[in-house]
Amino acid sequence: MTKFYASYPEGRPRRLRRTAGMRALVRETSLEPRHLIQAVILREEADPSEVKALDGVKRMTPAEAAEAAVRARDLGLGGLALFPYTKTSDRDASGSLAFDEGNLMGRAAQAIKEAAPEMVIIGDVALDPYTDHGHDGLMGEDGTILNDPTIEALCRQALALARCGFDMVAPSDMMDGRVGRIRKALDGEAFEDTGILSYAVKYASVFYGPYRDAVGSRGALKGDKRTYQMDPANALEGLKEAALDISEGADMVMVKPGLPYLDMITRVKDKFGAPTVAFQVSGEYAMLKEASKAGAFDFQSAMMEALICFRRAGADAVITYAAEEMAGLL
């Protein structure tokens, strides 16, 4: 419907901005703790907790993750997204630790479900925390990342996560066809209720740098990931990727990174209407943190504005390293 507005001086938009109460009355976008998902980096007891590239972010043991889950439940957060830190000595060419139900992810999931069974937990499905070459998939002799053999490995990984109690698995690898195969594998073992949050629109971005430090893969990465993650210059390709994943059975789709790709969040949400998640990635968090330390602005105010922008763009939920902190303010 076409809308007509009175011109100045009869029409004065500032009337609706005059007081805090008036601004709240006409606010178009809401941000609540349930819209936020806490990103959690896991560690073994003997591994360092500090992430030098992410000020304020600590790696957590499974017991600490369970405590975080209780806090998240009490704050009303939407969920926890778990990622493992893996030492070089525990990595190999096939990423075999990914399939072990007794690994960090499995033990953390079980500890969380014992402490806060109602808390939604999301398990990352990709081989990069486990491979000695740092890639999300299996590597051929010529350095090519192999699509179809990788899918078989991802299905094994997704099943391991489902058996450990994850509510959703989140394939972040960007292999073609993996969502449909994972859905079939889950259904085949009676995990019909395990959801799939697909990293549908994932760009080959420099903003992932601090995360690679956090999970121990920066030094391991051989080459780059541009043959399977998307070109930042492309938008229509992102819609194709989202359409394919939805058609294969994705319950939710993600755009990653976040703020530099707000246009893609809006396009995906408007085009498909599917539950859409944004990932405020490590580089985005680090930029806000470092700028605040330099005196550019207050971190919490800047973070709040960024999260509201995600919601305004169409994101139903946002994965962020600051979820718990911001939920406390909300």
- Report the number of distinct structural domains present in the chain: 1
Is 18 part of any domain? no
Is 10 part of any domain? no
Instruction: Compute how many other C-beta atoms are within 10 angstroms of the C-beta atom of residue 24.
Output: 8
pLDDT at 4: 72
Is 87 noted as a catalytic residue in this protein? no
Asked if pLDDT for residue 5 goes beyond 90, the answer is no
Is 87 part of any domain? yes
Asked if pLDDT for residue 304 goes beyond 80, the answer is yes
Domain carrying residue 323: 31-329
Please answer whether residues 228 and 136 qualify as being in contact, where contact means their C-beta atoms are separated by less than 8 angstroms. yes
Catalytic residue among 113, 225, 256, 289: 256
* 241 appears as a binding residue in the annotation: yes
pLDDT at 92: 96
Q: How many CA atoms lie within 13 A of 73 on its CB side?
A: 16
Is 188 part of any domain? yes
Is 16 part of any domain? no
Asked if pLDDT for residue 60 goes beyond 90, the answer is yes
CATH of the domain at 248: 3.20.20.70
Residue type, 211: Y
- Average pLDDT for 61-83: 98
pLDDT at 65: 98
Catalytic residue among 3, 58, 87, 202: 202
pLDDT category at 222 given cuts 50, 70, 90 is confident
Question: Does residue 121 sit in helix, strand or coil?
Answer: strand
Please give the angle made by the CA atoms of 102, 166 and 48, to the nearest 5 degrees: 55
pLDDT at 3: 67
Asked if pLDDT for residue 2 goes beyond 80, the answer is no
- Residue 38's alpha-carbon distances to 19, 96, 229, 317, 324, in angstroms, are 33, 27, 23, 11, 6
Please answer whether residues 121 and 109 qualify as being in contact, where contact means their C-beta atoms are separated by less than 8 angstroms. yes
- Per-residue model confidence as pLDDT tens digits over 152-194: 999 999 999 999 999 999 999 999 999 999 999 999 999 999 9
- Average pLDDT for 118-127: 98
Query: Can you give the pTM of this predicted structure?
Result: 0.96
Is 58 noted as a catalytic residue in this protein? no
